[in-house]
Structure 1
């Protein structure tokens, strides 16, 4: 009787395993069909809409302009806060005032930036006196004047380049990280959630939909690259950042439409890695400029470069988890760029700045 019962149990168990195996096998052998597709040369996909990210970039540009006006005028942290929070209709582009979006809601470490607003406003009351180590004021090179803090930092640059990381780069990285888990089946207003999120990330790059890496864009071009888009050419030519990142956004969006998810994931990695390398290329240039013999003693040039470097190095805080930059090297870079700028430019052989250059070159193959 016992043997018969065991035989019956074994038979049921084998049948159950066979059923599970059969179901599992059937599921794995019927993947979603990948449709044939071509990659376009412009970001002109049906239903593509990245209005909110584009509007935030424009808001950032206007905030930066206001903070930069402190070189010649007294500004207030309250007004800077209006730009940041989209209150009291601060923008010259009226559509931004009624957009219902803000910079503050998407900016990481927002209190750090509001602190920078206060520092820049306080320093603006000293824009007629010469800066010295320990005292804010103006440094001049020819007809160019720069408002710097007691340590030589231009807070408007800390905001401009810092928010390029804490908002635009951070948002693009995080959105792309989530894309593989988005719904790409349900269509709402012509697009799926995956397509809409991909478009939103693209908007933070801030380039025209027909971006041309060979074109020299000027202020006369109404539809021109802004912020990160501008740096594709300004600091990214040597690493072909413009063509690589724009091309990956095109290919990834086309692949989403065809449900080619392997390619989508490949493009996410390409975009994130090259974008981070672009930040590194900019940071490298700005920690190198002050050490060139032609610039030694030119405080306006040296401090301006270091201030931009300060912002770009902060961008690495929001890098993708697979970043080549180690936590230890990031801390070292932050420590170096956080040093009093008067100390950095007067250090024998620029030891700390050369150390920063070495880390950036070795990590990012620059």
Structure 2
């Protein structure tokens, strides 16, 4: 069964189209993130599901029931806001109990549920404290306990970890996953932070300029992006401008300013889909895109037939078990990430950037438009 169904939803603010023809479904017990840059419309979608905004057109259902026009407090959902919105005059236990009181739950049941929630979020013994006596992470857990105490069908999150430091943010990611798995409640999480979305989600919805670009598991979106926007937004990407000089069922031949490169189209299935879905022909421009981890650096020229680009080490950054290099090439600066155990290169060293043919993506200007995939 689907907890949430969003169908053909558009939201306009005057002449501004904040969300355009959004379609997606979320199954019971899924942890789904809506990911996109600032201003992409992700919070608007969340607020429409919550009931704080009304779609201009389209349908939103929770547990099979249409909720457009239904006020937030009558929907089987709760929301955790970025500012948490804890009641400062209430204790931790009273904050968690608030929703149950509003629902006229008897006192004995309320106390039992509050005790269970404190245990779930690992705040046993904190019930009599005030919110301002807690750390940021503890306040996050109180807000989450308050959101799940009355067992809603879905909990909505509007970037609640944005204000936390890196270490605490990482800890809360594990806590969110644990609590979601223990309760089985559907979580819909909005963020612009790629690392958080990749870490916690079963599936992701990538949004840009109000339109859904791609929906899939974290592995699908990272390894088989449908567009250069999705690939670049979910991880660093290096691009080589080129032109198609030959195209067949097995290979595409690219002409770059540093020579010709052949790309196998059956390399994991991703290149075939990206090229032929756009109906490319000889003479078409295309970007050959490489992730930083898929590039190797060597000081000697590569063997015959191995694709490569020449460059010079501009800067380097030690990052524990890896080193990030910025390589100056004739097109642009390339980011290359190598194992710290490899030979470390100094600034000014001439290098050859090489990669496997299977480790490439091919995108065209058409991949930068606004596709809106329908839910499977």
TM-score (structure 2 length as normaliser):
0.25
More helix by share: 1
> Relative contact order, CA 8 A, sep 6+: which one is greater?
1
More strand by share: 2
TM-score (structure 1 length as normaliser):
0.25
